Amino acid sequence: MLNKNVVLSCFVLFFASISFANAYETTAKNAILMDFETGEYLFEKGITEAVPPASMSKLMTVYILASKIKDGSIKLSDTFTVSENAWRKGGAATGGSTMFLAIDDNVTVEDLIKGIVIQSGNDACIVVAENISGSEEDFAVLMNKTAQKLGLKNSSFANSTGLPHPDQKMSMEDLAILSQHIIKEFPDLYHYFSEKEFTYNKIKQGNRNPLLYSMKGADGLKTGHTEEAGFCLAASAVKNGRRLIEVMSGMSSNKERSEESERLMSWGFREFNNYKILNAGQNIGEAKVWYGQQKIVPLTVAADVIKTVHKSKTGDIKVTAEYDEPIKAPIKKGQKIGDIKVEIEGLAPLNIPLVAATDVKEVGFWGKFWANIRYFVFGAK
């Protein structure tokens, strides 16, 4: 096998902006800013620390409910019954966030979603938990299993609401990843997060997300507040077709939460951008094939290669294809052949799978026989 290391391109990105905002600071105790498309972190402060998430943990309750709507086991028009337990733990008498549900109400799933994401109703969360799993305790087990499935490494759940509990913890990184999953997996349901008000039982309540009112393009996700957690926010916004996700906790007031969240989000849009380096299906090159009905297989990448880069960065981008050839047939379209290495000055290298662009079928016995003869006579070519 011959190792192939081909420099595909070496070029310079030049950015008009030359502002240097590398030392961003925030008063939030924990914060993350993530590019939705690339998953790259633009800012991080204590992002793996497991802290009380307050009502931001309701995002996991919504994720589980949305998953069941997506797989067809629950419909938006289905109704869930309000138990006395849900009313007592999450109702108006508690003084916490509530949808103002009444005992024995039959509430549509769609209204419960609105009650959770717009009104932050603790009663709505408990109703969802009990109707899906039988009890809030069993629903918490499901929440923890779902967290493991999603790769949330610093999260644990004891309830569906985010009310204070020593075992109710999440990290900013986990909340950003969970938010990314919600937006990606449930585009038909995500619009509920951007609705500014909802009326149930003739009681109108507004969405607590400050960015919905102050920032164009903001469309989610969830606020939180307890004495232990402080003022918190998981938010997302779109500008010029690019989406960012931020999660912040530990702020001292609603005013600080509003100001800090908008400032961090605006900084991310202003200071960074996404740049497409390679297109999905783009012809990258070709590799020799052994025992194939075709002598070469074209190479490509399965998905667009996009990199989030600080706008003040000026430097070379080097793209190299690394693979061994000849490739033994049969070869399947999409089969990994090697790697694309993207090197940007000042940043860690990016490795992308290099794949076959087409199928290559294997030759029969006589084809292999003559291939071996040619090899021994003429050598590898």
Q: Which residues are catalytic?
A: 55, 58, 120
Nearest to 58 by CA among 127, 6, 133, 122: 122
CB atoms closer than 10 angstroms to residue 124:
33
| Residue 303 CA: distances (Å) to CA of 243, 279, 334, 353 | 18, 7, 11, 9
- CA–CA separation, 237 and 348 (whole Å): 27
Q: Is 216 helix (H, G, I), strand (E, B) or coil?
A: coil
- CA–CA separation, 264 and 381 (whole Å): 56
- CA–CA separation, 166 and 146 (whole Å): 19
Distance in Å from the first CA to the final CA of the chain = 11
Beta carbons within 8 Å of 380's beta carbon, 6+ residues apart: 2, 326
| Token pair 């667009």: residue | 304
